Structure 1
Amino acid sequence: MAWNEPGNKGNDPWGNRGGNDQGPPDLDQVFRKLTGRFGGGNGGGISSGIIVGVLMLAIIAWALSGIYKIEEAERGVVLRFGQYHEQVGAGLGWKMTFVDQVYPVNVNNIRELPASGMMLTMDENVVAVQMKVQYRIVEPRAYLFNVTNPDESLKEAMDSALRYVIGHTVMDDILTTGREQVRQDTRTELENIIAPYGLGIQVVDVNLLPARPPEEVKDAFDDAIAAQEDEERFVREAEAYAKEVEPRARGQVQRMTQEANAYRDRVTLEAEGEVARFVQLLPEYQAAPTVTRDRLYLETMEKVYSSTSKVMIDTQGDGSMFYLPLDKIVGQGGSAPAPRVQAPAMNDTSSLPSSSFNNRRTATRNDSVRQGR
């Protein structure tokens, strides 16, 4: 029968007899009894005081040992009796020593993990690839307890993702223009692989270092890469030349179009002006046809001779003739003397210059016109 059941008059753990509940004994009495058993005599009080002091120091040391500090960039994961209890933030805290355990985890630092190896491409070539993944911890509890070694698991997942992407890409793309696509595909594949494991990490970036072919074929691939770089350079130069020439050509086209439009407008206006002038001359021509016709003729000849060389000939009664080349006189500032030549017979024109003869015929014709012949 238990000591606290009804009817039990035995001893309880506190030394009560007969079932009289007087509460737990005084600690000093307990220590005195213990010291009395081991030491006895007058030294019992001194021994009990030493033991109490030792216990108090032990309690103080135990309390002080539970103080801990979590840095600003860290988060603390608290375990109580080996099981997850809570997550604490930055600052000072206290835990029960031998009962609680605190694991600080840095959640701000960007960590880096490399991966490399000789891998087989889709076109059955071997290429040496190096890659680095940058990540940080976002869930401290998952990072500590979901897997045994999260860093090693991430490295194996990255190696698997990289080999999968390289195996589905041709070597030329890996070495030259397709490196960015390889990097993006590797990151996507890596995130898909680690998602079911709950590693508690976040992939920040994936850097694909320059890949290289095996040493046996390195020279050939270097030539191929150089040729592709030259091709890209030529294309950029051609695009730059096109961007330079095209605006200039467009400007010339626009200028020629404007000039053509201006010429069209000028000719149209001139034609309209001529039409208006002839319309105004029509009543005058109908009133005096001969006079109007002679006037038009003189105006036309004035326009024609305004752009040709001019020679003035004046014959005198003494048989000599003044020959004035006006264009040469004007060009020399009017200082050239007028040459005097022997005037031939009026009917003999063989000795006259052709220009003088033509001008004389023109002058004769003009006199005839003025006389109404």
Structure 2
Amino acid sequence: MSEQPQQPRKGPPGATRLRLTPAAPVEDAGSQALSEALRSSFFLVKIAMVLLALYFCCSNFKFVSEQERAVVLRFGRPVGEGEAALAGPGLLMAFPYPIDEVVSLPAAQILSAASSVGWYMEDPRTTAAGAAVPPRPTLNPVQDGYTLTGDGNIIHVKATLRYRVIEPIKFYFNFTNSAELVTNALNNALYHASARFTVDDALRRNLAGLQEKVAARTEELLREQDLGAQVQQVDLVTAPPRQVKEAFDQVTAAENQRSELINEAEGYANNILSRAKGEAEARRNRGLADRTRLVTEVEAEARYFKELLPSYNQGPELFARRLQAETLGRVMTNAQEKFFLPARADGQPREVRLQLSREAQKPKAALETPKPAGHSH
């Protein structure tokens, strides 16, 4: 603080007035340091306020990943309609809360729902331990779930549904609990589909058909409710009532044995038929080969006789003698001994005597003894 200048005192009249020069203000060192500290503090406070303002303005900026989409709610309502309200991957800028609120939604994520309305009551501790729940004497409708088949039988069914959200705005903002609605649709589909199958088809013969029917019914209900979800897969587990499971097992064993016997008989029949077909084909091929050979031989003989016909027509007797001579020539070519018996002039038969088991004749060259060289007789 600076000192106030001293005012000159008034003297008696006629006295000479002395004017005092005012002293220069002297600032206290502590006050100056405090002033500088306050100025620095005010500067830091201003910077902090600016940073806080920037942080507040950017507090609702969000980076959206590839696996998600985002929706900006302005005063509780989505900004935009339909697909335009969904923000894709990248930086999303929105006004600070509570003006805007950014809600992240999973993209292309497969969700699941489970239904056990048709399954019997299980003890979670026993099930977790992997032990079978002992059946009660009778089915208790208050505790045990079940479905009715088309032929009036009771079965137990539980299902697991996998679905995908294709319209997030409808699914997440048009309903309070969309996941519960999906589960309700699955429950309805189980009752609806079970009533259209027989007990044998639902348990053994056509479980795949039952699964397809449940999936189709669930998809139909989701479209009717306009949930914005699409069914991907349905897995079913079916079981007969535990009180009569042994009887069902016996029927199943009998059907399996029947199927094995039928398959064995069909295999045997197929084997016999294959062998018979093979043998028939072989015989047919042999018959075709024999027919071809016989036809070829007959055609060759026919051509041969056609070639001989002109010679026969010119002279039958001469032709017969010539043909006989040619035949004898071919026959006698390889014969070592030849006997010719002309017919007798009187036409009487001749007597022929054959010496059997006689010694073989030696070659003439072996019978001749070579003469010694240098001797003459």
The 8 Å contact of residues 285 and 293 in structure 1, kept in 2 or not, is answered as: no
Superimposed CA distance per residue, residues 47-103 of structure 1 (whole angstroms, 9 cap, x where no aligned partner): 987986675354233124222232211111111011111321122323222111111
Partner of 1:140: 168
- Aligned with 2:91: secondary structure? strand
Residue 55 of structure 2 aligns with an amino acid whose one-letter code is A
> Residues 103 and 246 from structure 1, CA distance in 2 versus in 1: closer, same or farther, beyond 3 angstroms?
farther
Measure, in 2, the Cα distance between the counterparts of 1:297 and 1:214.
Answer: 103
- Aligned with 2:176: secondary structure? coil
- Aligned with 2:227: secondary structure? coil
Partner of 1:164: 192
Partner of 1:268: 295
The 8 Å contact of residues 68 and 94 in structure 1, kept in 2 or not, is answered as: yes
The worse-fitting range, judged by mean Cα deviation, of 258-267 and 159-168 is 258-267
Measure, in 1, the Cα distance between the counterparts of 2:87 and 2:276.
Answer: 71
Measure, in 2, the Cα distance between the counterparts of 1:276 and 1:113.
Answer: 90
Aligned residue among 77, 83, 86 for 1:83: 77
The 8 Å contact of residues 222 and 228 in structure 2, kept in 1 or not, is answered as: no
Greater helix content: 1
Q: How well do the aligned residues superpose, as a CA RMSD in angstroms?
A: 3.9
The 8 Å contact of residues 107 and 136 in structure 1, kept in 2 or not, is answered as: no
> Residues 159 and 275 from structure 1, CA distance in 2 versus in 1: closer, same or farther, beyond 3 angstroms?
same
The 8 Å contact of residues 146 and 197 in structure 1, kept in 2 or not, is answered as: no
Residue 290 of structure 2 aligns with an amino acid whose one-letter code is Y
Measure, in 2, the Cα distance between the counterparts of 1:291 and 1:72.
Answer: 109
- Aligned with 2:66: secondary structure? coil
The 8 Å contact of residues 69 and 105 in structure 2, kept in 1 or not, is answered as: yes
**Contiguous gaps of at least 5 residues in structure 2:** 1-34, 80-84, 119-145, 332-352, 361-377
The worse-fitting range, judged by mean Cα deviation, of 221-230 and 180-189 is 221-230
Measure, in 1, the Cα distance between the counterparts of 2:70 and 2:183.
Answer: 25
Residue 165 of structure 2 aligns with an amino acid whose one-letter code is I
Compute the TM-score of the two structures, normalised by the length of structure 1: 0.60
Measure, in 1, the Cα distance between the counterparts of 2:264 and 2:293.
Answer: 43
The 8 Å contact of residues 77 and 140 in structure 1, kept in 2 or not, is answered as: no
Residue 87 of structure 1 aligns with an amino acid whose one-letter code is L
> Residues 299 and 241 from structure 1, CA distance in 2 versus in 1: closer, same or farther, beyond 3 angstroms?
farther
Superimposed CA distance per residue, residues 243-285 of structure 1 (whole angstroms, 9 cap, x where no aligned partner): 6666655454443333212212222233334444455556449
How far 1:151 sits from its partner (Å)?
0.6
Matched, 1:59 2:58: no
Work out which structure has the larger RCO, using CA pairs closer than 8 Å and 6 or more positions apart in sequence. Answer: 2
How far 1:298 sits from its partner (Å)?
12
The 8 Å contact of residues 70 and 92 in structure 1, kept in 2 or not, is answered as: yes
Matched, 1:94 2:93: yes
Compute the TM-score of the two structures, normalised by the length of structure 2: 0.60
Measure, in 2, the Cα distance between the counterparts of 1:271 and 1:56.
Answer: 121
Partner of 2:152: 124
The 8 Å contact of residues 71 and 90 in structure 1, kept in 2 or not, is answered as: yes
Partner of 2:63: 69
**Contiguous gaps of at least 5 residues in structure 1:** 1-41, 304-319, 326-336, 339-373
Residue 107 of structure 2 aligns with an amino acid whose one-letter code is V
